[in-house]
Chain A
Amino acid sequence: LAKTTQPISMDSYEGQEVNITCSHNNIATNDYITWYQQFPSQGPRFIIQGYKTKVTNEVASLFIPADRKSSTLSLPRVSLSDTAVYYCLVTSSGSARQLTFGSGTQLTVLP
């Protein structure tokens, strides 16, 4: 299982772009990188997923360099409602998939 490392916390102001980087040095060839967002008292929810290069959806972009040892979640023009904990997870298919989360990154958006 690829272990992930993220910053514990980040602050930003409304309207700014926020980039959160996750390190996953031991990622395997068939692994995917998935990011989740969690608000207080709620379960995490899927934001974006990628395998390589760049992925973009209506919420965020995900940048993955060629060596895939890290990934960066980019949130354009954040608002107060983007204040949450963000987790990156590396997943692979297989018969025994023990999915453990890291500490996540607490993003606080200030007015």
Chain B
Amino acid sequence: NAGVTQTPKFRILKIGQSMTLQCTQDMNHNYMYWYRQDPGMGLKLIYYSVGAGITDKGEVPNGYNVSRSTTEDFPLRLELAAPSQTSVYFCASTRDRANSPLHFGNGTRLTVT
């Protein structure tokens, strides 16, 4: 049982480049989330999805896009990378129950220079 898998683990981008951070889960969870965490700071919600075909903005959505074509996958797209997007990105998933805990991936460390 793999849980939540994120790829890549590390990436360095130049300013203006684009990339997609991949997230997949094999637990048949409806709810999926993307968070970013800057050094020494807490987790900030970027986007979330409550099911295939449904996405919504979180606290810090600017500069990012998401899609949810399947239950398993929830990719995060950076179109024009900026130094302010240097961060560690975490994907998480859970069931639609109040007592269902979040399952996190191991994160993607992104540096934009």
A residues adjacent to B (C-beta < 8 A): 30-32, 34, 36, 41-46, 49, 51, 85, 87, 89, 91-104
Question: Contacts A41-B109, A51-B99 given; 10 further ones with Cβ under 8 A?
Answer: A32-B98, A42-B107, A43-B4, A46-B101, A94-B96, A95-B50, A95-B96, A98-B48, A99-B48, A99-B94
Q: Is the CB of B58 within 8 A of A97?
A: no
Q: Is the CB of B96 within 8 A of A93?
A: yes
The contact sample of 15 A-B pairs, CB cut-off 8 A, is A31-B98, A32-B99, A41-B107, A43-B4, A43-B105, A43-B107, A46-B102, A46-B103, A51-B99, A87-B42, A91-B98, A94-B96, A98-B58, A101-B42, A101-B44
* B81 close to chain A: CB less than 8 A: no
Q: Is the CB of B99 within 8 A of A99?
A: no
- Chain A residues with CB below 8 A from B48, complex form: 97-99
State which of A31, A43, A85, A97 has its C-beta within 8 Å of the C-beta of B50: A97
B interface residues, tally (CB under 8 Å): 30
**B78-107 interface code vs A (CB 8 A; 1 in, 0 out):** 000000000010101010111111111111
B residues adjacent to A (C-beta < 8 A): 4, 31, 33, 35, 42-45, 48, 50, 56, 58-59, 88, 90, 92, 94, 96-107, 109
Question: 5 tightest A-B contacts by CB?
Answer: A43-B104, A46-B101, A101-B43, A93-B98, A32-B98
Q: Is the CB of B92 within 8 A of A43?
A: yes
Complex Cα distance, B98 from A107, in Å, reads: 27
